[in-house]
Amino acid sequence: MLKLIGVETFYGKIKALHGVSMAVNKGQLVCLLGANGAGKTTILKTIFGIVEPEYGTIHFNDKRIDRKDPEEIIKLGISHVPENRRIFPELTVYENLMMGGFLIKDKDLFEKRFKKATDYFPVLLKRGNQQAGTLSGGEQQMLAIARALMLEPKLLLLDEPSLGLSPKLVQEIFSIIKDLHQSGVTILLVEQNVNHALKIADYGYVLTSGKIFLSGTYDELYEEEKVREMYLGEGKYTRRANLWSGIR
């Protein structure tokens, strides 16, 4: 469904992505892992047309999208939930969801989508008339995801949805992402939360300094000593705090 080939993105003269190639198949939940500054957000922004790649191509359902802007890309069926849950704080929850559905002209269709999106997040229905800026962090994240779902995207890009949430809400958000995936939404999920993300993903890419460093299924990545050493603080001789334990 989505394919990146040799993508290189710059910020001015600084190269943030060094020939990134990756793929997401229809129905998959793929996670993109990596430390702070690795280039995860840049990959999502490049896919969504917020920044343009200098080199390489991006294909979505066999259409080139690497020279398109976000408005065109949304219409093709990609929704992007950016970092730090950017909602419209001064608008109500309901109004925020209406903004998400701005491409839907038909009122019945709007209501249908609204119901479907809020089924995942019943709390949002209860708070329909509340100003979105007064929601808790977790609720704002749910609103940001629900807003993206209003367009029934073929592909959902999620940028660190668990960031800054309490452990309980992290669990809840991951469980919702898992539900979304099981109901057939194709998802590219960016996370620093390696154990949570890989636990629900079909496939993972590990990014370091703008390059794909490793990729594989959960089991394949688990077998990679390098992943454990670099991301889980678990070298050959320091295999103590096993972040993988309890999830196998």
Ligand X SMILES: Nc1ncnc2c1ncn2[C@@H]1O[C@H](COP(=O)(O)OP(=O)(O)O)[C@@H](O)[C@H]1O
Q: Binding residues for Mg ion, per CB under 5 A?
A: 40-41
Q: Do 7 and 39 meet the contact criterion of CB atoms below 8 Å apart?
A: no
Residue nearest to Mg ion (CB): 41
Structure tokens at 11: 């910020």
Q: What is the DSSP letter of 51?
A: S
Residue 77: C-alpha distances to residues 63, 105, 225 (Å): 12, 16, 37
190: amino acid identity, one letter = V
Calpha distance 196→178 (Å, rounded): 11
19: amino acid identity, one letter = G
Calpha distance 200→204 (Å, rounded): 10
Three-state secondary-structure class, residue 50: coil
Q: Taking CB under 6 A as the rule, does residue 164 contact ligand X?
A: no
Q: Please choose, out of 29-37, 116-124, 150-158, 178-186, the segment that lies near ligand X by the rule CB under 6 A.
A: 29-37
Q: Taking CB under 6 A as the rule, does residue 215 contact ligand X?
A: no
Helices and strands in the chain, H and E counts: 10, 12
Q: Do 18 and 209 meet the contact criterion of CB atoms below 8 Å apart?
A: yes
Q: Please choose, out of 8-16, 219-227, 228-236, 238-246, the segment that lies near ligand X by the rule CB under 6 A.
A: 8-16
When CB distances are held under 5 to 8 angstroms depending on the partner's kind, the choice from Mg ion, ligand X, none that residue 73 binds is none
Binding residue for ligand X (CB under 6 A) from 22, 24, 42, 47? 42
Calpha distance 111→6 (Å, rounded): 41
Which residue lies nearer to Mg ion by CB, 131 or 192?
192
Min dist. Cβ of residue 139 to ligand X (A): 23
Which residue lies nearer to ligand X by CB, 41 or 79?
41
Min dist. Cβ of residue 86 to Mg ion (A): 13
Which residue lies nearer to ligand X by CB, 15 or 199?
15
When CB distances are held under 5 to 8 angstroms depending on the partner's kind, the choice from ligand X, Mg ion, none that residue 129 binds is none
Tokens 């269709």 -> residue: 109
Min dist. Cβ of residue 175 to ligand X (A): 24
Binding residue for ligand X (CB under 6 A) from 1, 2, 4, 16? 16
Give the binding site for ligand X (CB under 6 A).
11, 14, 16, 34, 36-42
